[in-house]
Amino acid sequence: MEYIFGYARVSTQSQELNRQLDLINESYVVNKMYTEKISGKLASRPALDELKSVVRRMIQSLLKAGVG
């Protein structure tokens, strides 16, 4: 089973995500898209942190099931 995540970020609230989202959606059928408008300088990026947490849990679940 294939599950594709997308992540797009711009640095300021005044910037638009549309171009990044268009490029991602032109190339992939994304099951779950994470987006945020937040500076890359910040140590914590909530959407990216959530994405990484979800992927970690999925990997752990697959390993427990003996997949891979």
Which structural domain range is residue 48 located in?
5-64
Q: What is the 3-state secondary structure (H, E, C) of the chain?
A: CCCCEEEEEECCCCCCCHHHHHHHHHHCCCCEEEEEECCCCCCCCHHHHHHHHHHHHHHHHHHHCCCC
Residue-wise pLDDT tens digits, 10-63: 999 999 999 999 999 999 999 999 999 999 888 889 999 999 999 999 999 999
Residue owning tokens 């490029």: 23
Interval 1-14 mean pLDDT: 92
Count of domains observed in the chain = 1
Q: Is the pLDDT reported for residue 1 higher than 90? A: no
